[in-house]
């Protein structure tokens, strides 16, 4: 799994390194997929996003368009997941992978009842929760504007943390091997 994830991430990182003009679009799509219910399980994009973060300083890539693209991709992925939850409601539990894990909906409901809007923010930073929390928020009809406030705020913070972490790790690796 990790060898595959690493090779997948390396291909994307190398593409961005060679084609920096495509970086915002690539980052947007990665963050969107990483945040979208169901798709996020098939597209573990965080490794590629960390790697792209490491490229920012090393290759003089402008941070701002990358950060905005990652933030908007993540926020729109969550927005779509929320909308899917609203439209499909409990029937979503019959769709893979939730159909294989029926306990996730009640656990998600308990999580959202305990944490509320803060749960959207918390969920953004934990892989398994990242795409499922907005889905649950939609199913249980969290008020739209509360969800969107937490969604966009957490997306911008998450993208900054992820990209900056990649940049810092890249600098540490460069320092250690210099």
Helix or strand (DSSP H, E) at 149: helix 144-176
Q: Which domain holds residue 112?
A: 2-176
**Separation between Cα atoms, residue 134 and residue 141, nearest integer Å:** 10
As a whole number of angstroms, the distance between CA 93 and CA 104 comes to 9
- 117-141 pLDDT tens trace: 999 999 888 876 777 889 889 998 9
Query: Which residues does 30 contact at the CB level (< 8 Å), separation at least 6?
Result: 12, 43, 45, 48, 49, 52, 70, 73
Residue 149 pLDDT greater than 80, yes or no: yes
Angle at which helices 144-176 and 132-139 cross, to 10°: 180
Q: Considering its fold, how many domains does the chain have in total?
A: 1
Q: Provide the CB-side half-sphere exposure for 67 (13 A, CA).
A: 17
Between CA 171 and CA 85 the distance in angstroms is 40
In this predicted model, what pLDDT tens digit does every residue of 75-109 receive, in sequence order?
999 999 999 999 987 777 777 667 777 777 788 78
| pLDDT classification of 71: cutoffs 50, 70, 90 | very high
Query: H helices of 36-141, where?
Result: 39-42, 46-58, 63-88, 104-115, 117-124, 127-130, 132-139
Q: How far, in whole angstroms, is CA 124 from its chain's centroid?
A: 7
**Structural contact between residues 86 and 167, judged by C-beta atoms closer than 8 angstroms:** no
Residue 41: per-residue pLDDT: 64
The token duo for 22 is: 């495509």
């Amino acid at each position: 799994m990790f060898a595959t994830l690493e090779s997948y991430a390396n291909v994307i990182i190398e593409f961005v390194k060679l084609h920096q003009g495509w970086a915002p679009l690539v980052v947007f799509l990665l963050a969107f997929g990483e945040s979208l219910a169901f798709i996020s399980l098939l597209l573990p994009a965080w490794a590629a996003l960390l790697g792209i973060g490491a490229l920012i300083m090393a290759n003089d890539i402008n941070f701002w368009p990358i950060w905005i693209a990652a933030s908007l991709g993540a926020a729109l992925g969550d927005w779509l997941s929320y909308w899917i939850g609203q439209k499909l409601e409990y029937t979503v539990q019959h769709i893979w992978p939730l159909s294989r894990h029926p306990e996730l909906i009640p656990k998600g409901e308990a999580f959202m009842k305990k944490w509320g809007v803060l749960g959207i923010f918390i969920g953004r930073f934990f892989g398994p929760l990242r795409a499922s929390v907005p889905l649950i928020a939609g199913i249980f009809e969290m008020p739209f504007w509360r969800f969107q406030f937490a969604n966009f705020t957490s997306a911008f913070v998450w993208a900054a943390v992820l990209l900056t972490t990649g940049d810092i790790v890249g600098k540490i690796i460069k320092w250690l091997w210099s």
